[in-house]
Amino acid sequence: MTGILAGLRIVEGSAFIAAPLGGMTLAQLGADVIRFDDIHGGLDSDRWPVTKDGRSIYWAGLNKGKRSIAVDLRSPKGRELLAALITAPGEGAGIFTTNMPARGWLAYEALAKKRADLIALNIVGARDGTAHVDYTVNAITGFPMVTGPVGHDGPVNAVAPPWDLATAYAGAMAILAAERHRRLTGQGQRILLPLQDMALAATSALGYIGEAMVNDVDRPRFGNEIFGTFGRDFRTRDGRYVMICIFSDRHVDALAAAGGFKQAFAGIEKQHGVDLKTDAGRWRARAELCAVIEAGGAIQTPDDVGTGLKKAGELWAPYKTFRELAHDREAVLDNPMFTVLDQPGIGRYPVAATPLQFGAVERQPPGPAPVLGEHTDEILTTILGLPGHEIARLHDDKVVGGPR
């Protein structure tokens, strides 16, 4: 490992998205991330999407570049081995992340008896310990009631899980904050991160709670429009869609130049008494702006739109399906972040490395996800120092397993 986080070792007991994605983020930056699972697989080992043979493409995506140890989580001996692994000595070791219930043998207090400077990140559902997932957290944030087409009745769920994503990266950040603190003071600590609080804090930061309280309004659904400035999807003549936004006066000029709308825009300003160079002016005249764009010649095909708008420096993008994205040259196939990888049991497909480019180290290409228990023996040997015959007995006793 030669990434920016070389020298760190994190042991992870995780399921679903937030915890494993946080671990994968650290692994792709060069940390040694060891994921443990029950010998029969964890809660999300088979989660969809799966291949025709039932292998989880989901699991593979979230566990890239980690090592895997498979242990019978119910056996006292298995638990003892994992506690020893979590608390093994080493300056950059002694870091544990989990979204499993941190009770009993996994409680911070129990583990800290073996290593006083342990760092443990515990991702929970709500602050009272109630279980939650992105969907149940998202429901209360308010976002589903303003997402989706105008006139739609009822909530619209997010498909890209905003709170899992936020929790994954904020959790990874918290590990580094605690590791810095340990380096400065020698102290370890427990870190608690409730998925629900993460969502509520972000909803607060984005101004939604303040707006509701101070202005005493419930913002209605605005469909695909960007609230408070100008932006919307437009259908092209060949039946596809593009997103066009204006966030600055430069973008107004760019769109006017690309579409030949200079006069029409001036007409809107005059007729409605608005200044299109301001967010408020664009928001007030958004229907008129849309009418000009739709009547104009700009919306031919995404390629035409692209050529004109890109040249003019306008903010736009074509909408793509997942399959279009997967085959897209600029975004994926020719993007140096992606490598076509052979993921054992699943197949060959483009897989992303970290999006972060650190000047001091070269970006490492992505490694595949391990198969369950791929590194069981290696970890028992090198980190716990067990001799071969003892490892063999652990396999015979079904205390450890893998690879499978």
Please report how close the Cβ of residue 294 comes to a second copy at its closest, in angstroms: 14
Q: Which residue in 32, 44, 134, 164 is the catalytic one?
A: 164
Please report how close the Cβ of residue 256 comes to a second copy at its closest, in angstroms: 17
Q: Rounded CA gap, 181 and 117, in Å?
A: 11
Q: Provide the Cα torsion 351, 61, 107, 81; round to 10°.
A: -80
* CA distances from residue 334 to 319, 339, 353 in whole angstroms, order as listed: 19, 9, 13
Please report how close the Cβ of residue 11 comes to a second copy at its closest, in angstroms: 18
Q: Rounded CA gap, 386 and 330, in Å?
A: 49
Please report how close the Cβ of residue 1 comes to a second copy at its closest, in angstroms: 13
Residue 130 makes CB contacts below 8 A (sequence gap 6+) with none
Please report how close the Cβ of residue 68 comes to a second copy at its closest, in angstroms: 17
Looking at the Cβ atoms of 42 and 81, the one nearer to a second copy is 42
Residue 112 makes CB contacts below 8 A (sequence gap 6+) with 118, 188
Closest by Cα among 205, 62, 189 to 122: 189
Helical axes 249-259 vs 286-295, angle rounded to 10°: 30
**What tokens were used for 370?**
């391990």
Residue 394 makes CB contacts below 8 A (sequence gap 6+) with 77, 81, 380, 386, 400
Looking at the Cβ atoms of 356 and 392, the one nearer to a second copy is 356
Please report how close the Cβ of residue 240 comes to a second copy at its closest, in angstroms: 10
Please report how close the Cβ of residue 391 comes to a second copy at its closest, in angstroms: 31
Please report how close the Cβ of residue 74 comes to a second copy at its closest, in angstroms: 16
Looking at the Cβ atoms of 270 and 348, the one nearer to a second copy is 348
Looking at the Cβ atoms of 17 and 106, the one nearer to a second copy is 17
388 exposed, middle or buried (CB, 10 Å; 0-12, 13-18, 19+)? exposed
Looking at the Cβ atoms of 296 and 318, the one nearer to a second copy is 318
Integer-rounded Cα radius of gyration of the chain: 26
Q: Rounded CA gap, 103 and 108, in Å?
A: 8
Q: b vs e for 58-73, b when ≥16 Cβ sit within 10 Å of the residue's Cβ? A: bbbbbbbbbbbbbbbb
Closest by Cα among 318, 314, 313 to 236: 318
Does the annotation mark 164 as catalytic?
yes
Q: Rounded CA gap, 352 and 341, in Å?
A: 9
Looking at the Cβ atoms of 340 and 392, the one nearer to a second copy is 340
C-beta separation of 93 from 7 below 8 A: no
> What is the enclosing helix (H) or strand (E) of 84?
helix 76-86
Looking at the Cβ atoms of 361 and 384, the one nearer to a second copy is 361
Looking at the Cβ atoms of 245 and 384, the one nearer to a second copy is 245
Query: CB neighbours (10 Å) of residue 99?
Result: 26
Catalytic positions: 164
